Amino acid sequence: DAIRNFEPPVKGELIMETFALTPGRDVGIIKDAIKDAILDGIIHNDFDEAFEFMLKKAEEIGLTRKV
């Protein structure tokens, strides 16, 4: 239950704001990737690391950051 209820430091609202998205598949892909990266020890449970990981993952799936 603890893993299922785990919330990464980067929330869906920030993902949507950063990439001008509405709730949907891409937001879920990024959130899941961040969660998995933390749980697998790829990144720390840290906002800055998670934010950088979010940017890289978004680029991989073809999203660009909105300014």
Q: pLDDT tens digits, residue range 10-66? A: 999 999 999 999 999 999 999 999 999 999 999 999 999 999 999 999 999 999 998
Phi, psi of 10 (to 5 degrees): -100, 120
Cα–chain center distance at 19? 11
What pLDDT is recorded for position 4?
67
> Per the structure block, which two tokens stand in for 8?
């990464």
What whole-number distance in Å separates Cα of residue 8 and Cα of residue 28?
A: 12
What whole-number distance in Å separates Cα of residue 24 and Cα of residue 21?
A: 8
